[in-house]
Amino acid sequence: MEKAIWNNKEYYAVNIARDYFLEREARLASSKDFFCPDANCKNRLLRYCHGEKRTFFAHLNKEDCDYSRFDKTITPLIREIKKILFVHFTGLGYDVKMDENIEGKCYIHLLITKDGRQFAIEFGTKNTGYKRI
């Protein structure tokens, strides 16, 4: 999972991994202070994971939430492209939200806002089903 709630704020694993001091704090807080952003999740406690190939959040216990189900559908290629665009648009001054739940109905890969205007970016592969689209 790409994001978590920590100290009542939304954090992205990619941003934590880019800041040495923030990551040090995150490692100390892992497994006790990070929570799933899905308010309906039954087991909201998360841990922060930073490996050589991937940085992410994961449920401590068996998860039962929409966000986790959405996250499992994201391919490694889409995950990497999503992170690259997140960093790029954030660097240009846009407010970028990753894996955003819109109107409590579905998650989208990127929601980008600037000057009151919003647009969403969704990714798909040849394996993306028509129901997801």
- Number of CB atoms found within 10 A of residue 80's CB: 12
* pLDDT confidence bin for 102, thresholds 50/70/90: confident
- Number of CB atoms found within 10 A of residue 10's CB: 12
Q: What is the mean pLDDT of residues 37-63?
A: 87
In degrees, to the nearest 5, what angle opens at C-alpha 96 toward C-alphas 94 and 97? Answer: 165
Share of the chain above pLDDT 90, in %: 47
Overall pTM > 0.85: no
Say which range, 68-72, 89-93, 128-132, has the weakest mean pLDDT: 128-132
Locus of tokens 């986790």: 68
- The CB-side HSE value for 41 (13 A sphere, CA atoms) comes to 23
